Amino acid sequence: MPDEMKASHVLVPPARADGRSAKLNAEDPAGPYGFFGRHILADLYGIDAEALNDAPYLCSLLEAGIVRSGATLIKTVDFVFQPSGVTLLMLLAESHVSLHTYPDESRAFFDAFTCGTTCDPHQILRMFCDEFPQCTWRMTALMRGDPQTERLSF
């Protein structure tokens, strides 16, 4: 087999449509909107059951967190379950935030993903949980897309 056809173990960032490397750095003119982002998943515990059934209140908390994070809210969709529970989905210019509540158990699932480096999804979670003094959580944080260790961290 010719040398040029042998498998290589060198990691090379994929090419973008414009032919430049997909890996961004401080000098990259693509700026903060490349193919990378932060994804926060959290299981929330100890939240007031009445609050977890109040879709407008929950929306206002998440909206305040979105503003604090630097993200841009485009649209909110909510659904109130009977007899209890709320699902909220907030479309962001940078991606999304979702919340699924279980009032009878004082628990909720939280999910926020933001592309790029212009906003911080942790701020949305922190702002939400700050409103509930008894709130505890188990969180998973993922960096997605191209590595950005020099500019993007948790």
**Where do runs of H (alpha helix) occur along 23-154?**
49-52, 55-69, 121-130
Give the C-alpha distances (Å, rounded to integers) separating 119 from 61, 71, 95. Answer: 17, 5, 11
Of the candidates 69, 95, 106, 122, the residue annotated as catalytic is 95
Per the annotation, the verdict on 135 as an active-site residue is no
Residues in the chain: 154
Strand partners, 141: 40
Phi, psi of 37 (to 5 degrees): -175, 180
Per the annotation, the verdict on 115 as an active-site residue is yes
Of the candidates 115, 119, 129, 135, the residue annotated as catalytic is 115
Distance CA 31, CA 40 (A): 22
Neighbours of 37 (CB within 10 A): 22
Per the annotation, the verdict on 9 as an active-site residue is no
Distance CA 146, CA 83 (A): 43
> Which residues are annotated as catalytic?
95, 100, 115
